[in-house]
């Protein structure tokens, strides 16, 4: 049932690496949801860890396999071996992997949206699951040719032409077809969530967009043609716009979304403006997925100090997507 047309399906929380802060922030967030919101949630992760996390953070949350009697519905992903909280462990990476696999099965059958707590890439790979993180794994599990990373916040949202590649590789990926696909994915998403005519600003790659070739020609050779084609397709796209001003202008309300050409170009300004509330949204998959925009925080895992503010924002966005009609995305070229 990929690409279910709306449907108010479940919000499926994967608790991430069970040795990290994911279980704690999940329990805190569950406690802050109202009864109707909590009844819609399905948690996927190790039951023994979730019980301990609820006790650690001091919230009156119970879990069972049916979600009966006010308990939270838990799909138990048993650990293959004991783990130590706050330490990288292949057993934790494997549990995180199996939870994601199960979450994908649920939403492909029932609709709804996955909301992911953080995983640890080193633990994931140590367990034999060779992926660069959630996004690559989800693309593999759903058979999607690619996906795009959108960082969404109230004041500034960015979508990325490339993400987890070296800077030299990122420059090589700035090509008209890739930039155009990124613009189109962002525009389609914004229309889906209610912005009828989204204004898409496209960042340049070089300082001052190359200054007519003085600092590089990628902007005029590759980015400008993509913007022109987007406009020809009816998308209100602008650019390339100098990277040193575009994010300020967007944060002031001039644009609805910025297309960043590489990971740090988009991540740094977004996290500077909305570090605690930025939501990571995967576009281009046949399922919906949101995520917190922080890591496993092994240094404070097990202390009960981790904030769940970002998880609350990710859950709110997940509900928004689960209730919005969608069409399966068609993307011709992989975007890392």
DSSP string, 118-152: P--HHHHHHTT---SSHHHHHHHHHT-S--EEEEE
Mean pLDDT of the residues in the chain: 93
pTM for this prediction: 0.90
Choose the CATH number for 1-146+284-336 among 3.30.70.260, 3.10.510.20, 3.40.718.10, 3.40.50.300: 3.40.718.10
The encoded tokens of residue 117 equal 């707590």
**What is the pLDDT, as a whole number, of residue 287?**
95
Domain residue extents for the chain: 1-146+284-336, 148-279
Helix (H, G, I), strand (E, B) or coil at 92: helix
- What is the rounded CA–CA span in Å between residue 23 and residue 44? 10
- What is the rounded CA–CA span in Å between residue 193 and residue 196? 9
The pLDDT tens digits of the residues spanning 188-218 come to 999 999 999 999 999 999 999 999 999 999 9
- What is the rounded CA–CA span in Å between residue 102 and residue 108? 10
- If you classify domain 148-279 with CATH, what class do you get? alpha beta
In CATH terms, are 1-146+284-336 and 148-279 the same topology? Answer: yes
Q: Is the pLDDT confidence value at 7 over 60? A: no
Segment (H or E) for 287? none
Quote the DSSP letter at residue 283: E
The pLDDT tens digits of the residues spanning 268-307 come to 999 999 988 999 999 999 999 999 999 999 999 999 999 9
| Nearest C-alpha neighbor of 199 from the set 244, 237, 173, 233 | 237
Length of the chain: 336
**What is the pLDDT, as a whole number, of residue 2?**
46
Residues 182, 185, 187, CA angle at the centre, nearest 5°?
105
pLDDT band at 132 (very low <50, low <70, confident <90, very high): confident
The pLDDT tens digits of the residues spanning 324-334 come to 886 544 443 43
Contacts 24+ apart (CB under 8 A), 306-310: 306/21, 306/24, 306/25, 306/28, 307/25, 307/276, 308/24, 308/25, 308/26, 308/28, 308/29, 308/32, 309/276, 309/277, 310/25, 310/276, 310/277, 310/278, 310/279
User: Distances from the Cα of 175 to the Cαs of 158, 221, 280, in angstroms?
Assistant: 18, 8, 24
Quote the DSSP letter at residue 216: B
Q: Is the pLDDT confidence value at 6 over 50? A: no
């Amino acid at each position: 049932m990929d690409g279910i047309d709306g449907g108010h399906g479940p919000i499926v929380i994967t608790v991430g690496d069970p040795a990290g802060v994911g279980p704690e922030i999940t329990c805190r967030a569950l406690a802050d949801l109202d009864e109707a919101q909590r009844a819609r949630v399905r948690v996927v992760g190790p039951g023994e860890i979730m019980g301990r996390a609820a006790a650690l953070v001091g919230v009156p949350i119970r879990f069972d396999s049916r979600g009966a009697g006010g308990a939270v519905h838990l799909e138990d992903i048993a650990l293959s071996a004991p783990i130590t909280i706050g330490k990288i462990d292949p057993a934790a990476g494997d549990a995180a992997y199996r939870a994601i696999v199960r979450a994908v099965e649920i939403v492909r059958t029932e609709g709804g949206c996955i909301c992911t707590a953080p995983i640890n890439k080193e633990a994931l790979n140590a367990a034999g699951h060779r992926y660069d993180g959630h996004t690559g794994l989800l693309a593999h599990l759903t058979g999607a040719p690619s996906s795009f990373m959108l960082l969404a916040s109230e004041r500034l949202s960015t979508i990325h032409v490339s993400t987890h590649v070296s800077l030299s590789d990122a420059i090589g990926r700035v090509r008209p077809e890739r930039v155009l696909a990124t613009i189109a994915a962002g525009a389609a998403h914004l229309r889906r969530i209610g912005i009828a005519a989204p204004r898409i600003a496209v960042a340049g790659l070089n300082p001052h967009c190359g200054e007519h070739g003085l600092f590089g020609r990628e902007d005029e050779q590759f980015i400008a043609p993509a913007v022109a084609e987007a406009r020809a397709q009816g998308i209100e796209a602008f650019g390339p716009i100098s990277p040193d001003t575009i994010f300020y202008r967007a944060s002031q309300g001039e644009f609805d979304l910025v297309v960043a050409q590489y990971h740090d170009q988009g991540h740094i300004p977004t996290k500077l403006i909305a570090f605690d509330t930025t939501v990571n949204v995967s576009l281009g998959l046949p399922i919906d997925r949101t995520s917190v925009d922080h890591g496993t925080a092994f240094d404070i895992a097990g202390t009960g100090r981790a904030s769940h503010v970002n998880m609350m924002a990710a859950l709110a966005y997940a509900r928004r997507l689960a209730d919005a009609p969608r069409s399966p995305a068609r993307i011709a070229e992989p975007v890392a």
